[in-house]
Amino acid sequence: MRFDDRTDAGRRLARRLENLRGADVVVLGLPRGGVPVAYEVARALGAPLDVLVVRKLGVPWQPELGFGAIGEQDVRVLNEDVIRDTGLEPAELAAVEADERIELERRVREYRAGRDPVPLAGRTVVVVDDGLATGATAQAACRVVRGRGAARIVLAVPVGAGRALPLLRAVADEVVCLHSPAYFGAVGAWYRVFDQTGDDEVTALLSRTASGSPAPPDAPAPNREVEVPAGRVRLAARFVLPEPAGAVVAFAHGSGSGRHSPRNRYVAAVLNRAGLGTLLLDLLTEDEERDRRNVFDIDLLARRLQAAALWLRRETDLPVGYFGASTGAGAALEAAADDSGIGAVVSRGGRPDLASPASLARVRAPTLLVVGSLDTQVLSLNRLAADRLQCEHRLAVIPGASHLFAEPGTLPVVAGLARDWFTTHLTSPDGTGPEHPDETG
């Protein structure tokens, strides 16, 4: 079992905790990575969300190996086996703890922003993290919660090492773990997207819920797995159409990607919330994907995308746009060059240069090219393609972002730019809308 990202993990975890809905429950997230997971659990349960600050104590010469953890209210949990095996001296233990105590106190001040902790006395408390390796941090968290008077403690994680779970059952009344693989490795190995969670994200999630329980989840837009006819083949796709929808966007995925791409699904979800339908499409069949040459057959991919646009028009009678990533961006522009009905194109970290120069000159759909500033080679190729475009176009460079926009906060910027571009050019009757950043690179 792998999770798309922490949001996906939180929603799956919430389904396992559905029996707690309506009870007197508080959800506590362990920062940083546990807070986005806990946020989804709290939303699903209609429960208040708070943060529980704990810090791992790492062996000085191997920081990822924890010899214990500390938490609020001076709680300390030590792993005597690790201490013995590494030969740590008392002075070394004390030095690490002193440094981590300073960071713990800083986070408490920043995350709480002067707010009092949510009362736990007499309540059921769900402690959530994004995964368990040694379990030391979660063990410390449970001890803190017990000290604050919780009547019942439920420790809930998407994935955990089997050897850590027995220790945690000694400090929690119930342990919920969706996946406990025989070989664990690292927590991040069980996520398709495992970007670092920043302090700003933790603070934003907590402030969003500071006045009470998180807002319940938005009703999901109707979605279905479909097959799109394209010549002699039928292409698998994920089709989401909000009600009402003002337009629909077909996604052309890049090399080695498809309709299950977590990054494109994230962008699609942002578009869905803005009232845009989305079609996440596999442009190649499973047999075709085995031949690497097909991935770079831009003409073939463009014809497939045109077939998808035709299918969308028949299904929805709505304006159609293209969103392309990597090689899919070249296919999107190649397809748009021969279809005057395409209302807008957005490229994410794309290769628009793979469209022929003649096709680029024929594109009439307003085109947004989004590239990370650290993706220097692709940025140069986007500038070359932009020079060949004669339609309305813009090159937006995201500072500090690499090719996959894996850096914290960069993918939401991409999604916001795409949403604004499509809503402006596909759904606004007067053609006006929010301004878009010009190239900054």
Higher pLDDT, 152 or 436: 152
Do the first three CATH levels of 6-208 and 223-427 match, i.e. the same topology? yes
Residue 130: CB partners within 8 Å, gap ≥ 6? 6, 9, 33, 34, 36, 37, 157, 158, 187, 191
When pLDDT is averaged across residues 292-302 and rounded to a whole number, the result is 87
When pLDDT is averaged across residues 138-146 and rounded to a whole number, the result is 84
Task: Note the pLDDT tens digit of each residue in 348-398.
Answer: 999 999 999 999 999 999 999 999 999 999 999 999 999 999 999 999 999
Q: According to the model, what pLDDT value does residue 220 have?
A: 53
Omega into 292 within 30° of 0, i.e. cis? no
Does the pLDDT of residue 3 top 50, yes or no? yes
Q: Which H/E stretch holds residue 125?
A: strand 124-128
Contact between 40 and 218 under an 8 Å Cβ cutoff? The reply is no
Q: Which H/E stretch holds residue 15?
A: helix 6-16
Q: According to the model, what pLDDT value does residue 285 have?
A: 83
CA distances to 242, 289, 326, 394, 407 from 403, rounded to whole Å, are 30, 22, 9, 18, 10
Report the C-alpha gap between 318 and 421 in whole angstroms: 16
The residues spanned by each domain of the chain are 6-208, 223-427
Q: Does domain 6-208 have CATH number 2.130.10.10?
A: no
Residue with tokens 């410390």, as numbered in its chain: 140
Does the pLDDT of residue 216 top 70, yes or no? no
Report the C-alpha gap between 264 and 144 in whole angstroms: 39
Q: Which H/E stretch holds residue 325?
A: strand 320-325
Task: Note the pLDDT tens digit of each residue in 28-37.
Answer: 999 889 999 9
Give me the sign of the Cα torsion angle 265, 271, 273, 279. Answer: negative
Does the pLDDT of residue 173 top 80, yes or no? yes
Does the pLDDT of residue 215 top 70, yes or no? no
Does the pLDDT of residue 438 top 50, yes or no? no
CB-CB neighbours of 292 under 10 Å = 9
Pairing outcome for strands 25-29 and 49-51: parallel
Report the C-alpha gap between 273 and 292 in whole angstroms: 35
Residue with tokens 């403690």, as numbered in its chain: 153
Report the C-alpha gap between 92 and 107 in whole angstroms: 23
Q: Which H/E stretch holds residue 91?
A: helix 90-112
The model's confidence at residue 26, banded by pLDDT at 50, 70 and 90, is: very high
- Closest Cα partner for 308 from 354, 360, 239, 245? 239
The model's confidence at residue 156, banded by pLDDT at 50, 70 and 90, is: very high
Q: According to the model, what pLDDT value does residue 165 have?
A: 87
Q: According to the model, what pLDDT value does residue 113 have?
A: 74
DSSP letter (8 states) at residue 188: G
Does the pLDDT of residue 198 top 70, yes or no? yes
Average of per-residue pLDDT values in the chain = 86
Does the pLDDT of residue 25 top 70, yes or no? yes
Q: According to the model, what pLDDT value does residue 103 have?
A: 86
Which percentage of the chain shows pLDDT scores above 90?
Answer: 48
- Rg over CA atoms, the chain: 25
Helices 6-16 + 34-45 axis angle, to 10: 40
Higher pLDDT, 12 or 263: 12
Task: Note the pLDDT tens digit of each residue in 222-276.
Answer: 678 899 999 889 998 999 999 888 999 999 986 656 787 788 888 998 898 889 9
Task: Note the pLDDT tens digit of each residue in 50-82.
Answer: 998 888 888 898 876 778 878 777 777 787 888
- Closest Cα partner for 137 from 190, 199, 72, 70? 70
Does the pLDDT of residue 16 top 70, yes or no? yes
Q: According to the model, what pLDDT value does residue 255 have?
A: 64
Region of 436 on the Ramachandran plot (φ > 0 left; ψ -120 to 50 alpha; else beta): beta
Q: According to the model, what pLDDT value does residue 335 have?
A: 96
Q: According to the model, what pLDDT value does residue 434 have?
A: 33
Q: What is the fold, at CATH topology level, of the domain defined by 223-427?
A: Rossmann fold (3.40.50)
- Bridge partners of 71, per DSSP, are 54, 75
Contact between 2 and 98 under an 8 Å Cβ cutoff? The reply is no
The alpha carbon of residue 300 and the mean position of all alpha carbons in its chain are separated, in whole angstroms, by: 30
- Closest Cα partner for 177 from 28, 1, 351? 1
